[in-house]
Amino acid sequence: MSLLTAHLERGAVKLGTLTVGAGPAVVVGGPGADARWVNLRDHHGRVPAAEAVAAVRAEWAGPILVEPFSTADLPEIGGADGVVVGAAWMQDFQLVRAVARLGLPVIVQRGPAATLEEWLAIADYCVAEGNDQVVLCESGSRTHLAGVTLDLALMRAAREKSGRPVLADLGEDPALAAAAVAAGADGLLLAPGAGERAVLAAQEAVKIVGALTRRETPDSVLAARGAVDRVDAALAVLLERRAELAGAIQRLKPVGGFAGRDMDRERRLVTEMARRAPGLGEVRLAPIMNAVIEAGLHLAEERRASGQD
Protein backbone atom coordinates (compact mmCIF):
# COMPACT_ATOMS: atom_id res chain seq x y z
CA MET A 1 0.00 0.00 0.00
CA SER A 2 1.18 3.51 -0.77
CA LEU A 3 2.56 5.66 2.02
CA LEU A 4 -0.12 8.26 1.26
CA THR A 5 -3.17 6.03 1.48
CA ALA A 6 -2.71 4.36 4.86
CA HIS A 7 -6.12 2.95 5.70
CA LEU A 8 -8.02 4.11 8.78
CA GLU A 9 -10.80 1.80 9.91
CA ARG A 10 -14.12 3.51 10.48
CA GLY A 11 -17.82 2.83 10.36
CA ALA A 12 -19.94 4.31 7.60
CA VAL A 13 -23.19 6.22 8.19
CA LYS A 14 -26.01 6.51 5.64
CA LEU A 15 -27.65 9.90 5.20
CA GLY A 16 -30.60 8.80 3.09
CA THR A 17 -29.01 7.47 -0.09
CA LEU A 18 -25.63 9.01 0.70
CA THR A 19 -22.88 6.99 2.41
CA VAL A 20 -20.46 8.92 4.59
CA GLY A 21 -17.29 7.13 5.67
CA ALA A 22 -16.90 4.65 2.81
CA GLY A 23 -16.20 5.50 -0.80
CA PRO A 24 -15.32 9.05 -1.83
CA ALA A 25 -15.64 12.00 0.52
CA VAL A 26 -19.02 13.71 0.14
CA VAL A 27 -19.88 17.39 -0.26
CA VAL A 28 -22.83 18.76 1.72
CA GLY A 29 -24.53 22.16 1.26
CA GLY A 30 -24.90 24.43 -1.72
CA PRO A 31 -26.16 23.86 -5.28
CA GLY A 32 -24.88 20.70 -6.97
CA ALA A 33 -23.65 19.11 -3.70
CA ASP A 34 -24.44 15.50 -2.68
CA ALA A 35 -26.74 16.66 0.12
CA ARG A 36 -28.43 19.89 1.17
CA TRP A 37 -28.20 21.50 4.57
CA VAL A 38 -31.11 23.45 6.09
CA ASN A 39 -29.84 25.66 8.90
CA LEU A 40 -32.71 26.74 11.14
CA ARG A 41 -30.25 28.45 13.51
CA ASP A 42 -29.67 31.12 10.87
CA HIS A 43 -33.37 32.01 11.13
CA HIS A 44 -33.28 32.08 14.97
CA GLY A 45 -36.28 29.78 15.08
CA ARG A 46 -38.47 32.29 13.24
CA VAL A 47 -39.08 30.06 10.21
CA PRO A 48 -41.23 26.98 10.91
CA ALA A 49 -39.00 23.90 10.52
CA ALA A 50 -41.51 21.97 8.42
CA GLU A 51 -41.80 24.91 6.02
CA ALA A 52 -38.01 25.27 5.64
CA VAL A 53 -37.53 21.54 4.98
CA ALA A 54 -40.47 21.47 2.55
CA ALA A 55 -39.02 24.43 0.60
CA VAL A 56 -35.77 22.55 -0.02
CA ARG A 57 -37.58 19.25 -0.63
CA ALA A 58 -39.66 20.91 -3.36
CA GLU A 59 -36.55 21.41 -5.47
CA TRP A 60 -34.24 18.62 -4.25
CA ALA A 61 -35.01 14.88 -4.06
CA GLY A 62 -31.66 13.90 -2.48
CA PRO A 63 -30.53 13.82 1.16
CA ILE A 64 -31.34 16.79 3.41
CA LEU A 65 -29.66 17.60 6.72
CA VAL A 66 -31.38 19.92 9.15
CA GLU A 67 -29.81 21.90 11.95
CA PRO A 68 -32.57 22.65 14.48
CA PHE A 69 -32.69 25.91 16.41
CA SER A 70 -34.20 24.18 19.44
CA THR A 71 -36.07 21.03 20.48
CA ALA A 72 -39.27 22.78 19.37
CA ASP A 73 -38.21 22.15 15.75
CA LEU A 74 -37.73 18.41 16.16
CA PRO A 75 -41.32 17.17 15.67
CA GLU A 76 -41.35 18.97 12.32
CA ILE A 77 -38.19 17.61 10.70
CA GLY A 78 -39.28 14.05 10.04
CA GLY A 79 -38.58 14.48 6.32
CA ALA A 80 -34.86 15.04 6.93
CA ASP A 81 -32.14 12.40 6.39
CA GLY A 82 -29.89 13.62 9.21
CA VAL A 83 -29.92 16.16 12.03
CA VAL A 84 -27.04 18.52 12.72
CA VAL A 85 -26.32 19.46 16.33
CA GLY A 86 -24.79 22.88 15.68
CA ALA A 87 -21.44 23.86 17.22
CA ALA A 88 -23.16 26.44 19.44
CA TRP A 89 -25.48 23.75 20.86
CA MET A 90 -22.95 20.93 21.27
CA GLN A 91 -23.21 20.89 25.04
CA ASP A 92 -26.98 21.31 25.18
CA PHE A 93 -27.49 17.79 26.45
CA GLN A 94 -31.30 17.98 26.34
CA LEU A 95 -31.16 18.87 22.66
CA VAL A 96 -28.56 16.19 21.92
CA ARG A 97 -30.67 13.53 23.66
CA ALA A 98 -33.87 14.62 21.93
CA VAL A 99 -32.14 14.67 18.53
CA ALA A 100 -30.67 11.21 19.08
CA ARG A 101 -34.09 9.84 20.00
CA LEU A 102 -35.47 10.83 16.58
CA GLY A 103 -33.57 7.84 15.23
CA LEU A 104 -32.12 9.84 12.33
CA PRO A 105 -28.33 10.03 11.85
CA VAL A 106 -26.82 12.77 14.02
CA ILE A 107 -24.05 15.08 12.85
CA VAL A 108 -22.30 16.52 15.92
CA GLN A 109 -20.42 19.75 15.28
CA ARG A 110 -17.58 20.49 17.70
CA GLY A 111 -18.17 23.55 19.86
CA PRO A 112 -15.50 26.26 19.31
CA ALA A 113 -13.83 25.57 22.68
CA ALA A 114 -14.65 21.86 23.06
CA THR A 115 -11.86 19.35 23.60
CA LEU A 116 -11.65 16.05 21.73
CA GLU A 117 -12.95 14.19 24.77
CA GLU A 118 -15.93 16.54 25.22
CA TRP A 119 -16.77 16.19 21.54
CA LEU A 120 -16.59 12.39 21.55
CA ALA A 121 -18.67 12.30 24.75
CA ILE A 122 -21.57 13.81 22.79
CA ALA A 123 -21.44 10.85 20.42
CA ASP A 124 -21.67 8.60 23.48
CA TYR A 125 -24.80 10.46 24.61
CA CYS A 126 -26.37 9.57 21.27
CA VAL A 127 -25.37 5.94 21.67
CA ALA A 128 -26.86 5.93 25.18
CA GLU A 129 -30.16 6.98 23.56
CA GLY A 130 -29.92 3.99 21.22
CA ASN A 131 -28.59 5.89 18.22
CA ASP A 132 -25.19 4.80 16.91
CA GLN A 133 -25.49 6.65 13.59
CA VAL A 134 -23.18 9.52 14.51
CA VAL A 135 -20.96 11.64 12.26
CA LEU A 136 -18.49 14.10 13.82
CA CYS A 137 -18.08 17.51 12.21
CA GLU A 138 -15.06 19.72 12.92
CA SER A 139 -16.26 23.32 12.86
CA GLY A 140 -13.20 25.19 14.10
CA SER A 141 -11.92 26.84 17.25
CA ARG A 142 -11.83 30.46 18.29
CA THR A 143 -8.22 31.62 17.89
CA HIS A 144 -6.19 34.79 17.32
CA LEU A 145 -7.55 34.80 13.75
CA ALA A 146 -10.91 36.33 12.87
CA GLY A 147 -13.77 33.85 12.85
CA VAL A 148 -12.90 30.23 13.59
CA THR A 149 -9.84 28.16 12.64
CA LEU A 150 -10.44 24.63 11.42
CA ASP A 151 -8.43 22.07 13.40
CA LEU A 152 -7.68 19.30 10.92
CA ALA A 153 -5.39 17.49 13.35
CA LEU A 154 -8.25 17.29 15.83
CA MET A 155 -10.60 16.11 13.08
CA ARG A 156 -8.19 13.32 12.18
CA ALA A 157 -7.71 12.38 15.83
CA ALA A 158 -11.51 12.20 16.25
CA ARG A 159 -11.74 9.74 13.38
CA GLU A 160 -8.89 7.62 14.65
CA LYS A 161 -10.15 7.53 18.20
CA SER A 162 -13.87 7.05 17.54
CA GLY A 163 -13.89 5.09 14.28
CA ARG A 164 -16.75 7.39 13.19
CA PRO A 165 -16.90 9.34 9.92
CA VAL A 166 -15.77 12.95 10.14
CA LEU A 167 -16.74 16.08 8.23
CA ALA A 168 -14.86 19.37 7.89
CA ASP A 169 -17.04 22.48 8.05
CA LEU A 170 -15.53 24.89 5.51
CA GLY A 171 -18.17 27.62 5.78
CA GLU A 172 -18.45 29.51 2.49
CA ASP A 173 -14.78 29.20 1.50
CA PRO A 174 -13.48 25.97 -0.07
CA ALA A 175 -9.80 27.03 0.26
CA LEU A 176 -9.08 24.25 2.78
CA ALA A 177 -11.02 21.56 0.91
CA ALA A 178 -7.89 19.83 -0.42
CA ALA A 179 -6.19 19.94 2.99
CA ALA A 180 -9.30 18.54 4.68
CA VAL A 181 -9.55 15.62 2.24
CA ALA A 182 -5.83 14.92 2.65
CA ALA A 183 -6.29 14.96 6.43
CA GLY A 184 -8.92 12.23 6.09
CA ALA A 185 -12.25 14.09 5.98
CA ASP A 186 -15.11 11.80 4.94
CA GLY A 187 -17.03 14.84 3.81
CA LEU A 188 -16.91 18.60 3.38
CA LEU A 189 -19.68 20.77 4.77
CA LEU A 190 -20.28 24.08 3.02
CA ALA A 191 -22.57 26.82 4.30
CA PRO A 192 -26.08 26.48 2.85
CA GLY A 193 -25.50 29.77 1.04
CA ALA A 194 -22.19 28.70 -0.57
CA GLY A 195 -22.18 29.34 -4.30
CA GLU A 196 -21.84 26.92 -7.19
CA ARG A 197 -18.12 27.71 -7.61
CA ALA A 198 -17.42 26.80 -3.98
CA VAL A 199 -19.22 23.48 -4.45
CA LEU A 200 -17.28 22.75 -7.66
CA ALA A 201 -13.96 23.56 -5.94
CA ALA A 202 -14.82 21.23 -3.05
CA GLN A 203 -15.82 18.46 -5.46
CA GLU A 204 -12.57 18.89 -7.39
CA ALA A 205 -10.58 18.49 -4.15
CA VAL A 206 -12.58 15.35 -3.32
CA LYS A 207 -11.69 13.90 -6.75
CA ILE A 208 -8.08 14.88 -7.17
CA VAL A 209 -6.76 14.77 -3.61
CA GLY A 210 -9.04 11.86 -2.72
CA ALA A 211 -7.64 9.84 -5.64
CA LEU A 212 -4.15 10.27 -4.17
CA THR A 213 -4.84 9.93 -0.46
CA ARG A 214 -8.05 7.99 0.12
CA ARG A 215 -8.11 4.24 -0.23
CA GLU A 216 -11.34 2.88 -1.63
CA THR A 217 -12.61 -0.70 -1.68
CA PRO A 218 -15.58 -0.54 -4.09
CA ASP A 219 -17.96 -3.51 -4.15
CA SER A 220 -19.83 -2.88 -7.41
CA VAL A 221 -18.89 -2.08 -11.01
CA LEU A 222 -20.57 1.32 -10.67
CA ALA A 223 -18.61 2.22 -7.53
CA ALA A 224 -15.35 0.91 -9.01
CA ARG A 225 -15.92 2.97 -12.18
CA GLY A 226 -16.55 6.03 -10.02
CA ALA A 227 -13.23 5.41 -8.27
CA VAL A 228 -11.47 4.92 -11.62
CA ASP A 229 -12.97 8.20 -12.86
CA ARG A 230 -11.46 10.00 -9.85
CA VAL A 231 -8.05 8.46 -10.48
CA ASP A 232 -8.29 9.43 -14.17
CA ALA A 233 -9.14 13.00 -13.14
CA ALA A 234 -5.97 13.12 -11.03
CA LEU A 235 -3.98 11.52 -13.88
CA ALA A 236 -5.24 14.17 -16.31
CA VAL A 237 -4.12 16.97 -14.00
CA LEU A 238 -0.69 15.36 -13.60
CA LEU A 239 -0.29 14.56 -17.31
CA GLU A 240 -1.06 18.16 -18.26
CA ARG A 241 1.39 19.44 -15.65
CA ARG A 242 4.02 16.98 -16.83
CA ALA A 243 3.62 18.08 -20.45
CA GLU A 244 4.12 21.72 -19.41
CA LEU A 245 7.31 20.88 -17.49
CA ALA A 246 8.69 18.64 -20.24
CA GLY A 247 7.96 21.50 -22.67
CA ALA A 248 10.02 23.84 -20.48
CA ILE A 249 12.93 21.38 -20.64
CA GLN A 250 12.75 21.38 -24.46
CA ARG A 251 13.09 25.17 -24.46
CA LEU A 252 16.02 25.08 -22.02
CA LYS A 253 18.02 22.18 -23.51
CA PRO A 254 20.68 22.99 -26.11
CA VAL A 255 18.91 20.58 -28.48
CA GLY A 256 15.24 20.12 -27.65
CA GLY A 257 12.42 18.04 -29.12
CA PHE A 258 12.79 14.60 -30.69
CA ALA A 259 16.28 15.50 -31.90
CA GLY A 260 17.49 15.86 -28.29
CA ARG A 261 15.90 12.71 -26.92
CA ASP A 262 17.79 11.16 -23.98
CA MET A 263 16.97 7.44 -23.72
CA ASP A 264 19.10 6.94 -20.61
CA ARG A 265 17.07 9.53 -18.75
CA GLU A 266 13.84 7.85 -19.93
CA ARG A 267 14.98 4.42 -18.71
CA ARG A 268 15.98 5.85 -15.31
CA LEU A 269 12.64 7.55 -14.79
CA VAL A 270 10.79 4.33 -15.62
CA THR A 271 12.92 2.40 -13.09
CA GLU A 272 12.19 5.03 -10.45
CA MET A 273 8.45 4.97 -11.19
CA ALA A 274 8.37 1.18 -10.91
CA ARG A 275 9.25 1.52 -7.21
CA ARG A 276 5.84 3.15 -6.68
CA ALA A 277 4.04 0.99 -9.26
CA PRO A 278 5.41 -2.48 -8.51
CA GLY A 279 2.28 -4.16 -9.88
CA LEU A 280 2.79 -2.66 -13.31
CA GLY A 281 6.58 -2.93 -13.10
CA GLU A 282 9.15 -1.59 -15.55
CA VAL A 283 8.02 -3.76 -18.47
CA ARG A 284 4.47 -2.36 -18.50
CA LEU A 285 5.43 1.15 -17.47
CA ALA A 286 7.98 1.57 -20.27
CA PRO A 287 5.45 1.74 -23.16
CA ILE A 288 3.10 3.93 -21.09
CA MET A 289 5.87 6.43 -20.39
CA ASN A 290 7.08 6.26 -23.95
CA ALA A 291 3.60 7.37 -25.10
CA VAL A 292 3.47 10.09 -22.44
CA ILE A 293 6.91 11.44 -23.33
CA GLU A 294 6.24 11.37 -27.05
CA ALA A 295 2.92 13.22 -26.55
CA GLY A 296 4.83 15.87 -24.61
CA LEU A 297 7.48 16.18 -27.32
CA HIS A 298 4.85 16.47 -30.07
CA LEU A 299 3.07 19.21 -28.11
CA ALA A 300 6.37 21.05 -27.53
CA GLU A 301 7.31 20.85 -31.23
CA GLU A 302 3.84 21.99 -32.33
CA ARG A 303 3.99 24.95 -29.99
CA ARG A 304 7.47 25.88 -31.18
CA ALA A 305 6.43 25.61 -34.84
CA SER A 306 3.41 27.86 -34.26
CA GLY A 307 5.47 30.34 -32.23
CA GLN A 308 3.45 29.76 -29.06
CA ASP A 309 6.48 29.63 -26.77
Ligand X SMILES: O=C(O)C(=O)C[C@]1(C(=O)O)C=C[C@@H](O)C=C1
Task: Please check whether residue 77 is in contact with residue 52, taking contact to mean a CB–CB distance below 8 angstroms.
Answer: no
Sole binder of ligand X in the list 12, 249, 274, 286 (CB under 6 A): 249
Minimum gap (Å) between residue 160 Cβ and ligand X:
39
Cα-flanking dihedrals φ and ψ of residue 85, to 5°?
Answer: -90, 105
Sole binder of ligand X in the list 261, 267, 276, 284 (CB under 6 A): 261
Secondary structure, 3-state, 50-87:
HHHHHHHHHHCCCCEEEECCCHHHHHHCCCCCEEEECH
Q: In angstroms, rounded to a whole number, what is the distance separating the alpha carbons of residues 20 and 28?
A: 11
Minimum gap (Å) between residue 257 Cβ and ligand X:
8
Sole binder of ligand X in the list 35, 181, 190, 293 (CB under 6 A): 293
Sole binder of ligand X in the list 262, 272, 302, 309 (CB under 6 A): 262
Determine, following the binding rule CB under 6 A, whether residue 296 of this chain makes contact with ligand X.
yes
Minimum gap (Å) between residue 269 Cβ and ligand X:
6
Q: Where are the alpha helices (DSSP H) in the chain?
A: 49-59, 93-101, 116-128, 152-162, 177-182, 196-213, 221-252, 263-276, 281-305
Minimum gap (Å) between residue 246 Cβ and ligand X:
4
Count of residues touching ligand X (by CB under 6 A): 11
Minimum gap (Å) between residue 268 Cβ and ligand X:
9
Report the alpha-carbon angle 47-53-54, nearest 5.
Answer: 105
Residues that bind ligand X (CB under 6 A): 246, 249-250, 253, 261-262, 265-266, 293, 296-297
